[in-house]
Amino acid sequence: MRLHRNLVFSVIDGLNLIFNEGEYADKVVQKLLKRDARWGSRDRKFVAETTYDIVRWKRLYAEIADINENYSRENLWRIFAVWATLRGIELPDWSQLEGTPTRRIKGRFDEFSKIRKIKESIPDWLDELCVAELGEKVWSKEINALNKQAEVILRTNTLRTTKEKLQALLATFDNETEFVKGHPVALRLKERANIFRNDAFKNGLFEVQDANSQLVSEFLDVKPGMKVVDACAGAGGKSLHLAALMENKGNLISLDIYEAKLRELKRRARRNGAHNIETRVIDSTKVIKKLYDMADRVLIDAPCSGLGVLRRNPDAKWKIQPGFLDKVRKTQQDILQRYSKMVKPGGKLVYATCSILPSENQEQVKKFLETNEDFTFVEDKKLLASTSGFDGFYMALLERK
Please report, in range form, the residues annotated as the binding site for S-adenosyl-L-methionine.
Answer: 256, 283, 301
Comparing C-alpha atoms, which of 161, 124, 116, 162 is closest to residue 143? 116
Q: How far is the CB of 18 from ligand SAM (least distance, A)?
A: 21
Q: What one-character DSSP code corresponds to residue 155?
A: E
Annotated binding site: 256, 283, 301
- For 336, residues 6+ apart whose C-beta sits below 8 A from its C-beta are 300, 302, 351, 364, 365, 368
Between 15 and 310, CB nearer to ligand SAM: 310
Sequential DSSP letters for 308-353: GGTTT-TTHHHH--HHHHHHHHHHHHHHHHHHGGGEEEEEEEEEEE
Handedness of CA 332, 335, 337, 339 (dihedral sign): negative
Q: How far is the CB of 312 from ligand SAM (least distance, A)?
A: 12
Q: Which residues contact ligand SAM by CB under 6 A?
A: 231-238, 255-258, 261, 282, 301, 303, 331, 335
Between 83 and 351, CB nearer to ligand SAM: 351
Q: How far is the CB of 334 from ligand SAM (least distance, A)?
A: 7
Q: How far apart are CA 42 and CA 1, in angstroms?
A: 11
Which residues are bridge partners to 188 per DSSP? 153, 178
Q: What one-character DSSP code corresponds to residue 113?
A: T
Which of 130, 232, 304, 354 is catalytic? The answer is 354
Between 141 and 367, CB nearer to ligand SAM: 367
Between 331 and 376, CB nearer to ligand SAM: 331
Indicate if 130 belongs to the active site. Answer: no
Q: How far is the CB of 266 from ligand SAM (least distance, A)?
A: 13
Q: What one-character DSSP code corresponds to residue 67?
A: -
Query: Which residue numbers are catalytic?
Result: 354
